[in-house]
């Protein structure tokens, strides 16, 4: 595949290395301007004539690029401003294949599936979610936590997130879903969903142990996406048997 990279920060440097090791070609890059990529630079997605674009960037870079016409299949990993981004991607998916996942690891897809089952079975448990990431991450809570939270909000009628307890001077309500974000060092990415009631606790946890898991997930999605019909894809429908 000839791949256009949107963003050339930590993640897409890894994607470029792994793509080339796997025999793909980096057709070019659209970056934010601070980096000096060793590939041709473009300022629109279709200009590189790539088979697919893989994005790990920032909404401020990505959203303007999506404002015009786009024909290149898209694998989108950027987090932050989810509602805005998903609305634009759904509109684009009317005329091209688009894959979006806030976490490119298959393990997090499994975690989200397990979470749905646990929510069905643990209706009277208090629910808390904790994510941990490196000190260079700019969005909080993580896109993955937002995805897990949306799953829980969909399942628990009347539930709502509580992001900050510092000004709450009363007991926790069962409808609350507590959300905590921790930032430090080089933590790749950890997500814990905690179900607690009197005398017992059940946790569903995922730990990413290298950033390669995300880059490889994006490359796998790109390979599966390029010959797919126009549409909006995620882990639920891209890898199913055809």
Ligand X SMILES: NC(=O)C1=CN([C@@H]2O[C@H](COP(=O)(O)OP(=O)(O)OC[C@H]3O[C@@H](n4cnc5c(N)ncnc54)[C@H](OP(=O)(O)O)[C@@H]3O)[C@@H](O)[C@H]2O)C=CC1
- Cα 23 to the chain's mean position, in Å? 25
Please identify, among the stretches 59-67, 82-90, 110-118, 136-144, the one whose residues bind ligand LZUJQKHR according to the rule CB under 6 A.
Answer: 136-144
Quote the tokens at residue 119: 């929510």
Chosen from ligand X, ligand LZUJQKHR, none, partner binding at 133 (C-beta under 5 to 8 Å by type): ligand LZUJQKHR
The half-sphere exposure of 220 on its side-chain side, counting CA atoms within 13 A, is 15
Chosen from ligand LZUJQKHR, ligand X, none, partner binding at 112 (C-beta under 5 to 8 Å by type): none
- Any known ligand binding at 50? no
Burial label for 100, CB within 10 Å (0-12, 13-18, 19+), is: buried
Smallest separation, CB 74 to ligand LZUJQKHR (Å) = 17
Chosen from ligand LZUJQKHR, ligand X, none, partner binding at 58 (C-beta under 5 to 8 Å by type): ligand X
Chosen from ligand X, ligand LZUJQKHR, none, partner binding at 61 (C-beta under 5 to 8 Å by type): ligand X
Residue 83 in contact with residue 178, Cβ under 8 Å?
Answer: no
Burial 51-70 (b: 16+ CB within 10 A, else e): bbbbbbbbbebbeebbeeeb
137 a catalytic residue: yes
Smallest separation, CB 204 to ligand X (Å) = 18
List the Cα angle 181/193/157 in 5-degree steps.
100
Residue 65 in contact with residue 30, Cβ under 8 Å?
Answer: yes
Q: Is the peptide bond before 216 cis (omega within 30 degrees of 0)?
A: no
- The reply to whether 159 sits near ligand X by the rule CB under 6 A is no
Quote the tokens at residue 70: 């786009």
- The reply to whether 143 sits near ligand LZUJQKHR by the rule CB under 6 A is yes
Looking at the chain, the number of H-run helices and the number of E-run strands are 6, 11
133 a catalytic residue: yes
Within 38-67, which residues bind ligand LZUJQKHR (CB under 6 A)? none
- The reply to whether 107 sits near ligand X by the rule CB under 6 A is no
Would you name the residues annotated as active-site residues?
A: 133, 137
Give the interface with ligand X as residue ranges (CB under 6 A).
Answer: 7-12, 31-35, 56-58, 60-61, 77-80, 101-104, 139, 143, 214
Q: Annotated binding site, which residues?
A: 34, 77-79, 101-104, 134, 143-144
Give the interface with ligand LZUJQKHR as residue ranges (CB under 6 A).
Answer: 79, 102-103, 133, 137, 142-144, 189
């Amino acid at each position: 595949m000839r791949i256009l990279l949107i963003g050339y920060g930590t993640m897409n440097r890894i994607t470029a290395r792994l793509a080339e090791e796997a025999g793909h070609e980096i057709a070019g890059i659209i970056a934010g301007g601070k980096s000096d990529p060793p590939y041709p630079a473009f300022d629109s997605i279709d200009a590189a004539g790539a088979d697919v674009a893989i994005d790990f960037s920032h909404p401020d870079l990505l959203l303007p690029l999506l404002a015009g016409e786009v024909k290149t299949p898209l694998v989108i990993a950027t987090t932050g401003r989810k509602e805005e981004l998903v609305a634009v991607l759904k509109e684009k998916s009317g005329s091209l294949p688009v894959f979006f996942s806030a976490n490119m690891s298959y393990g997090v897809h499994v975690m989200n599936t397990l979470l749905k089952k646990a929510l069905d079975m643990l209706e009277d448990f208090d629910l808390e979610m904790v994510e941990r990431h490196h000190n260079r991450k700019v969005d909080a809570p993580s896109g993955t936590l937002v995805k897990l939270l949306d799953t829980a909000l969909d399942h628990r009628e009347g539930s709502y997130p509580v992001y900050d307890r510092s000004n709450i001077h009363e007991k926790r309500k069962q409808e609350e879903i507590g959300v905590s974000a921790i930032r430090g060092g080089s933590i790749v990415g950890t997500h814990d969903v905690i179900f607690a009631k009197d005398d017992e606790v059940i946790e569903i946890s995922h730990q990413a142990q290298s950033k390669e898991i995300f880059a490889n997930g994006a490359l796998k999605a790109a390979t599966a996406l390029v010959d797919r019909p126009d549409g909006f894809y995620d882990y639920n429908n891209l890898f199913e048997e055809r």
